[in-house]
């Protein structure tokens, strides 16, 4: 069993760290809000550390799942300084590929490993231990982290060198943005046309229109319920990172850019914490 630290106990990190403990790994946790770490330790039996340095000391693997590039930098700096030589830092945050490359270089200089490992599957996937993880980094570091990550994942793939995991997550978000908007428009059209939304989905969901979003979100979208997953604020953060990367590499993302603006409209409606399926609310706004 490995000695692990987990930094960041949000809706994703909290259950992910729990799966590590359930698998009998030694786990120390740290969270910016200390009470969350205390609650986790009481629930799972691990250790709530007072500082990042105390959490990562002597650990073989340090996992992180926080918010954005500045948050990752804020925890990586003290973590790298306190980690033992040969330990591997695994960042599950969806952040920029440039940051992943920067941290990989810094880690190497300190004789540490680094893997950027953003996840897909949302809160439900984290709670079920069924996440998809896209990784970037050296094969040796990935090989050490992969069997440990497997306790909360259904698929883990090494995509290439540092940053490749983050780039793959960007592709994931590009694809999701278009699918959710298409589903929102389809359901909105069905309502306006006087069709029964449930029967429409029954008719089309076994054909080419089928998607995870359709199977898992159409009912709540029809009911106008948007408290079932990844928040609009976080999707806009992901799309911002993606569009910045596209400007650098010359990729043309007209649909992703448009959907990003649609999510800005949802935010203006008060939907910052609604889940991403709330695009339909924008279409049905009076």
Residues carrying an active site annotation: 169
What b/e string do you get for 185-198 counting C-beta neighbours within 10 Å, with b at 16 or more?
ebbbebbeeeeebe
Instruction: State the residue for tokens 């199977």.
Output: 215
Q: Specify the length of the chain in residues.
A: 286
CA–CA dist 67, 116 (Å, integer): 14
Strand runs labelled E in the chain:
3-7, 26-30, 47-48, 61-64, 88-91, 113-116, 119-120, 131-137, 153-160
Report which DSSP code applies to 70: H
Read off the tokens for 167.
């780039």
Partner residues linked to 131 by β-bridges: 153
The three-point CA angle 235-239-244 to 5° equals: 155
- Backbone torsion region of residue 6, taken as left when φ is above 0, otherwise alpha when ψ lies between -120 and 50, otherwise beta: beta
User: What SS3 class is residue 115?
Assistant: strand
């Amino acid at each position: 069993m490995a000695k692990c630290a987990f930094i960041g106990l949000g809706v994703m990190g909290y259950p992910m760290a729990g799966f590590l403990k359930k698998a009998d790994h030694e786990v120390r946790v740290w969270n910016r809000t200390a009470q969350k770490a205390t609650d986790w330790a009481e629930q799972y039996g691990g250790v709530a550390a007072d500082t990042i340095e105390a959490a990562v000391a002597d650990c073989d693997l340090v996992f992180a799942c926080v918010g954005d590039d500045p948050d990752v930098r804020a925890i990586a700096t003290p973590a790298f300084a306190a980690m033992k030589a040969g330990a591997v830092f695994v960042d599950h945050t969806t952040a920029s590929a440039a940051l992943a490359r920067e941290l990989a270089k810094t880690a190497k200089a300190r004789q540490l490993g680094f893997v950027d490992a953003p996840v897909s599957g949302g809160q439900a996937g984290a709670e079920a231990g069924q996440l998809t993880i896209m990784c970037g980094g050296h094969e040796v570091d990935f090989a050490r982290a992969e069997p440990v990550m497997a306790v909360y994942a259904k698929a883990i793939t090494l995509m290439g060198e540092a940053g490749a995991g983050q780039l793959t997550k960007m592709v994931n978000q590009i694809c999701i943005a278009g699918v959710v908007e298409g589903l929102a428009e389809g359901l909105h059209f069905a309502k306006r046309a006087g069709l029964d939304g449930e029967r429409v989905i029954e008719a089309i969901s076994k054909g080419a229109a089928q998607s995870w979003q359709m199977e898992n979100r159409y009912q709540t979208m029809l009911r106008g319920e948007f408290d079932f997953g990844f928040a609009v604020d976080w999707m806009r953060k992901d799309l911002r990172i993606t569009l910045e990367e596209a400007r650098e590499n010359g990729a043309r993302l007209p649909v992703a850019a448009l959907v990003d603006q649609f999510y800005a409209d949802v935010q203006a409606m008060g939907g910052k914490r609604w889940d991403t399926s709330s695009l339909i609310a924008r279409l049905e706004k009076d």
